[in-house]
Amino acid sequence: MTHDNQSHPSFDELNDFVDDRLTPAGRLDLETHLALCPRCAGDRDRLELLLDQSRSLAAEVEPPAEIWSGVHQRIAGRSPLGRRRSWLLAAAALLLVAVSSAVTALLVRRPQTVAVRQSAPAAPLAGVGLPVAARAVDADYQAVIRELDESLAQRRAQLAPETIAKVEASLRVVDEAIGEARHALAADPANRDLVDLLAASYERKLELLRRASELLPAT
């Protein structure tokens, strides 16, 4: 589109101009208009000023002091993951499949169980079809998840049914995200962001299980 003094560029076009997304001809046309139209030139200047200010905002903001105490509480006594050898990780993953199935079977037989959680979609076939980096993430997280999962499963009757329902609904959402990340990784194994995404999903699951465990009465 050409612009004369009667045909002003749209806001989208001004944005494309400052983002350098116009064709050379489109850019030249708009520059010609801006040279003749103080109103549009003013809009462009305001837009560029906004972008300059945005890019120079403070890179750091002082956080509330309680963040570190929360982090410390959650990591104290736990070693970082991901240091074991790959054959050991693979063995742990296989063991997890077996244990996870056994726990599920045990839950199904428990008469006093308020609600029976289906085994998470991410647990079976742990690591199968995933790149090596993702397999390590898979196995590492699932080993920790298993501990919390077992503890929760053994004492779930002590939780109110509505609490169990909420926890299970949240777990299903997270398990779906884990499933999606695993599928995406199977299609794009070299994508490190997807490995991070998978790990972030597991992290969310861990946190949910940890919070659910905290709801259990002290023994």
Identify the CA nearest to 128 among candidates 61, 185, 205.
185
Q: Which of 20, 55, 190, 217 binds another protein (CB under 8 A)?
A: 55
Q: Say whether residue 58 binds another protein (CB under 8 A).
A: yes
Residue 119: which residues within 8 A CB-CB, separation 6 or more?
100, 101, 104
Judge whether 18 and 48 are in contact, CB under 8 Å: yes
At position 193, the amino acid (one-letter code) is D
Q: Which of 25, 67, 190, 218 binds another protein (CB under 8 A)?
A: 67
Q: How far is CA 22 from CA 25, 31, 32, 35, 120, in A?
A: 8, 11, 14, 17, 49
Of the two residues 56 and 219, which places its CB atom closer to another protein in the complex?
56
Q: Say whether residue 186 binds another protein (CB under 8 A).
A: no
Q: Say whether residue 83 binds another protein (CB under 8 A).
A: yes
Q: Say whether residue 200 binds another protein (CB under 8 A).
A: yes
Virtual torsion, Cα 113, 118, 124, 129, nearest 10 deg: -160
Q: Which of 66, 85, 98, 219 binds another protein (CB under 8 A)?
A: 66
Least separation in angstroms between CB 23 and another protein:
16
Q: Could you list the residues that contact another protein (CB under 8 A)?
A: 11-12, 15, 46-47, 50-51, 53-64, 66-68, 70-72, 74-76, 78-83, 133, 136-137, 140-141, 144, 169-170, 173-174, 176-177, 192-193, 195-197, 199-201, 203-204, 207
